[in-house]
Amino acid sequence: MNYQVNEKGYYGNFGGAFIPEMLFPNVEELREKYLSIIQEKDFQLELNELLRDYVGRPSPLYYAKRLSERYNTNIYLKREDLNHTGAHKINNTLGQILLAKRLGRTRIIAETGAGQHGVATATVCALMGLKCIVYMGEVDIKRQAPNVARMKLLGAEVIPATSGSKTLKDATNEAIRDWINNPVDTYYIIGSVVGPHPYPDMVARFQSVISEEIKKQLLEKTGNENPDYVIACVGGGSNAAGAFYHFLENEKVKLIAVEAAGKGIDSGHSAATSVLGKPGIIHGSKTLLMQTSDGQIIEPYSISAGLDYPGVGPIHAHLFETGRAEFVSATDEEALKAVFLLCELEGIIPALESAHALAYLEKLKAKENEVVVINLSGRGDKDLATYIEKL
């Protein structure tokens, strides 16, 4: 089975580039050039140096002893929360900003949900001296205030998305509309493995450093580069794509994608796309999508702004359809419990998004000798207000 994107930009039945003609020249230019640019020696050198000295990579693979004791197995946390800016998002924004510079673009736009991608974009724009505009849903601006302040401090302009559900989906719509209005000088840094081809593949490649490191680190620690399980949360799915990437071809490694069930899958307040979605088109790609029978996109719900998205990246739709990854979900409640447990047992405050992956440990039933890697995609500083309410 092949899990990589094909020439036409598809993962099996999913993907493609369903964009209005106004975006065609930009997306086509990217499609023609992205592989050759990111494979250039210069580009690789610059990116790797920044990943090491600026982001702090490799991020540690930490053996969580007390958590392992609790679940009677061997749990390793891939500490993406220790990256500069506090999440995996910067792996991708650094890659894309170097690409944008090589394409001669001077104005950078981005969408953001939880604000992590917005902060990571504002950060690399400051680093490169480029103008940065971030679209963020009005609802998310309220629930992720610290990240809004960070972006502003870093020099970005944060524009509220006031249409639709006023969350990530609508912020993405607004960013796409901005690109339509500014096709010449602007580059759009998409934050997840979503959007028209080549974005899903490009973002997956930039995030694949996560699984590349996991392999090396596990080999050093256990003598075997392959774990039994890799678990990651999925909204659009960039941290999961990065954590799964180098294990895709080895079917012995079980891949588990944890979606946000919100208040429960059948509650009408959920973001569990693999269960509630059908094939459709969102933000330029064919994928699984929460929609009405008339094809209108349904507004999802999750306590976590980063998982509050009605679709998944086309790579995940393909992994779901082929059964290569198992798709499960965790509710708001279960995620919050996992936050408090990790604080208590390991002294680590995880992001709400990453806590969905941790929550699945309750149901996993891994054996005593098995190895479980959880991608701890981000830290919980941005969610403190939510956590304090629950104390």
Partner 1 sequence: MSKINTLFQDKKQNILSVYFTAGFPNLNDTTTIINELEKSGVDLIEIGMPFSDPLADGPTIQRSSEIALENGMTIKLLFEQLKIVNSTIPLVLMGYLNPILQYGVEKFCKDASALRISGVIIPDLPFQEYLDEYKTIFEKYNLKNIFLITPQTSEARIRLIDEYTDGFIYMVSSASTTGAKNEIGSEQEQYFKRIKEMNLKNPTVIGFGIHNQQTFSKACEFANGAIIGSAFIKAIETGEDLEKDIGVFVNTILKEQLAHRNS
DSSP state of 167: S
Q: Hey, which residues between 74 and 103 contact partner 1 (CB under 8 A)?
A: none
Give the residue with the Cβ less far from partner 1, 216 or 278.
278
3-class DSSP assignment, residue 71: helix
Q: Based on the residue annotation, tell me whether 29 is a catalytic residue of this protein.
A: no
- Which 3-state string (H, E, C) describes 210-248? HHHHHHHHHHHHHCCCCCCEEEEECCCCHHHHHHHHHHC
Dihedral pair phi/psi, residue 300, rounded to 5° = -80, 175
Q: Which stretch binds partner 1 (CB under 8 A): 16-24, 237-245, 326-334, 343-351?
A: 16-24
Among 105, 169, 254, 318, binds partner 1 (CB under 8 A): 169
Catalytic residue among 78, 89, 169, 382: 89
3-class DSSP assignment, residue 59: coil
Determine, following the binding rule CB under 8 A, whether residue 180 of this chain makes contact with partner 1. Answer: yes
Distance (Å, whole) CA 344 – CA 334: 15
Determine, following the binding rule CB under 8 A, whether residue 249 of this chain makes contact with partner 1. Answer: no
We find the least distance from the C-beta atom of residue 104 to partner 1, in angstroms, to be 15
We find the least distance from the C-beta atom of residue 295 to partner 1, in angstroms, to be 3
Give the residue with the Cβ less far from partner 1, 204 or 290.
290
Q: Judging by beta carbons within 10 Å of its beta carbon (0-12, 13-18, 19+), is residue 277 exposed, middle or buried?
A: buried
Determine, following the binding rule CB under 8 A, whether residue 25 of this chain makes contact with partner 1. Answer: yes
Distance (Å, whole) CA 6 – CA 356: 31
Q: Judging by beta carbons within 10 Å of its beta carbon (0-12, 13-18, 19+), is residue 46 exposed, middle or buried?
A: middle
We find the least distance from the C-beta atom of residue 171 to partner 1, in angstroms, to be 12
What are the tokens at 298? 């349904």
Q: Which stretch binds partner 1 (CB under 8 A): 56-64, 92-100, 182-190, 361-369?
A: 182-190
Catalytic residue among 192, 208, 285, 377: 377
Catalytic residue among 111, 174, 334, 346: 111
We find the least distance from the C-beta atom of residue 148 to partner 1, in angstroms, to be 23
We find the least distance from the C-beta atom of residue 371 to partner 1, in angstroms, to be 41
3-class DSSP assignment, residue 268: coil
Distance (Å, whole) CA 16 – CA 284: 7
We find the least distance from the C-beta atom of residue 282 to partner 1, in angstroms, to be 7
Among 5, 108, 176, 338, binds partner 1 (CB under 8 A): 176
What are the tokens at 297? 């996109």
Distance (Å, whole) CA 49 – CA 56: 10
Determine, following the binding rule CB under 8 A, whether residue 155 of this chain makes contact with partner 1. Answer: no
- Say if residues 71 and 367 touch (Cβ distance below 8 Å): no
Q: Hey, which residues between 258 and 287 contact partner 1 (CB under 8 A)?
A: 278-284
Determine, following the binding rule CB under 8 A, whether residue 184 of this chain makes contact with partner 1. Answer: yes
Q: Based on the residue annotation, tell me whether 270 is a catalytic residue of this protein.
A: no
Residue matched to tokens 């990651």: 232
What are the tokens at 386? 């939510």
Q: Based on the residue annotation, tell me whether 370 is a catalytic residue of this protein.
A: no
Q: Hey, which residues between 282 and 321 contact partner 1 (CB under 8 A)?
A: 282-284, 289, 291, 293-297
Q: Which residues are annotated as catalytic?
A: 89, 111, 377
Binding site for partner 1 (CB under 8 A): 16-22, 24-25, 163-164, 169, 173, 176-177, 180-184, 278-284, 289, 291, 293-297
